Structure 1
Amino acid sequence: MSDALRPMAKQRLYEQVIERLREYVERAGLRGGDRLPAERELAQRLEVSRASVKQAIVVLEVQGLVEARHGGGTYLVRDTLAAEPVDELVRRRRRLPDVLEAREALETKLAELAAERRTAQDLEAIAGALEHMRQEIEDGGHGVEGDRRFHAAVTVAAHSSMLAEFMRAMAEQVTESRTESLRQPGRPNRSLSQHRAIYEAISNGAPSKAAAAMRRHLRTVAKVRLLSWNPDDEETDLAD
């Protein structure tokens, strides 16, 4: 049966607040680093509760679009507040733990095997990925492409066709977890440093150290604001 006539979803009030904030940032010409008005002022001007404003700020923070500094206000991270639909955030939040669990299981073993089996060409590829990520970050990016190249190079260096096939099968989900992690404040440089530790262990032919370094890295990847956000808390704040 077609779901075309399914019940209309009610829009949460804080989603409307997010849209108004996006318009405000665009019309005011705000840029990354600029400060948003205080929550109290926003609530007054939008004629909504401070709770609705706070919920909107949390969702924007989860997406890496703003940084809420304790006692210091809320600042734009980028030049826009083009937010992702909340329902997509909810879906990704539900699947992310499984993806992170699978990554730790697979990539820890890949790093261990890479330390045992890597060739000079493999090490060159891993080092090249590190340099690409460093340059991306230096240029103001998050290092997403360099991160992708690094983990791909480690996978190749493991010389395990079956594990490589598993990684290919979950490539889309890995990309989601990578992007989610690297948009956390301060995360790109920390990730780069952890990648260097993995590379050094692989280069030195130390399987246990390579596995441990990869595990530490992936547990950092798992520390994302999205997983501490509880969308169920927002369900009662609906607009007619």
Structure 2
Amino acid sequence: MSDALRPVARARLYEQVVERIREYATDRGLGAGDRLPPERELAQRLGVSRASVKQAIVVLDVQGLVEVRHGGGTYLVTDTLDIEPVERLVERRRILPDVLDAREALETKLAELAAERRTKADLDAIEAAIEYMAEEIRADAHGVEGDRRFHAAVTAAARNPLLADFMRSIDEQVTESRTESLRQPGRPSRSLAQHQRILDAIRMSDPKAAAAAMRRHLRTVAKVRLLTWNPDDEPEDVR
């Protein structure tokens, strides 16, 4: 049967607030480093509760578009508020825990095997990836490409074609989890240090230490703002 007459989803009020904030930033020509009006002012001008504004700000924060400084206001991180549709954000939040579980299961074993099977060329590739990521961070980037190269080099060093195929099969989801993690404040430098510890264990041919270091790293990757956000937490619009 056709589902054309399925129930119409009720638009979340905070989604409308998000769109109004985007329009405001565009109209005012706001860019990275500019401050948004205080929540109280936004609520008054939009005719909604502060709770609805707060939830809208959370959505922007989760997407890495704004920085909320406690006691200091909300600032744009990017020059444009290129907002991801909330439903897409909800879907990423739904699947992310499964992706993180899969990464821990696969990549912990890959690190263990890499410590057993790596060659000098493998070590050089892993080290080059770490240096590339460090250069990205020094250039005020998040280090996404260097991170990708690092994990790819560890996978290659493990010399297990089947595990490598599994990793390729979830490449898109892994990329999303990588981007999500590395845009957390302070995360790029922390991930870089963790990569170095994984490399050290692989270089010493210590499978147990390599697996443990990779597991600790991936559990850090799992700590993202997106997973603390409840998309169904629609506040009552009491002004």
Fold match (TM-score > 0.5): yes
Single out whichever of 129-138 and 142-151 deviates more from structure 2: 129-138
Q: How many residues align?
A: 237
**Does structure 1 residue 185 correspond to structure 2 residue 152?**
no
Q: Counterpart amino acid of 1:230?
A: N
Aligned-pair distance for 1:234?
Answer: 2.0
Separation (CA, whole Å) in 1 of partners of 2:232 and 2:20: 23
SS in 2 for 1:68: strand
SS in 1 for 2:200: helix
Aligned-pair distance for 1:82?
Answer: 1.5
Aligned CA-pair RMSD: 1.5
* Partner of residue 200, structure 2: 200
**Does structure 1 residue 142 correspond to structure 2 residue 142?**
yes
Separation (CA, whole Å) in 2 of partners of 1:205 and 1:78: 42
Single out whichever of 26-35 and 208-217 deviates more from structure 2: 26-35
Give the structure-1-normalised TM-score. 0.94
* Partner of residue 42, structure 2: 42
* Partner of residue 29, structure 1: 29
* Partner of residue 100, structure 1: 100
Unaligned runs of 5+ in 2: none
Give per-residue Cα distances to partners, 1:124-171, cap 9 Å, x unaligned. Answer: 111111122112222222111111111011000001112111111111
Separation (CA, whole Å) in 1 of partners of 2:137 and 2:158: 27
CA contact (8 A) 1:126 1:150 kept: yes
Separation (CA, whole Å) in 1 of partners of 2:3 and 2:235: 22
* Partner of residue 219, structure 1: 219
Structure 1 outlier segments of 4+, above 6 Å: none
SS in 2 for 1:195: helix
CA contact (8 A) 2:13 2:52 kept: yes
Unaligned runs of 5+ in 1: none
| 1:170-181 → structure 2 map (5 Å cutoff) | 170-181=170-181
Separation (CA, whole Å) in 2 of partners of 1:155 and 1:228: 30
Separation (CA, whole Å) in 2 of partners of 1:63 and 1:153: 28
Separation (CA, whole Å) in 2 of partners of 1:202 and 1:34: 44
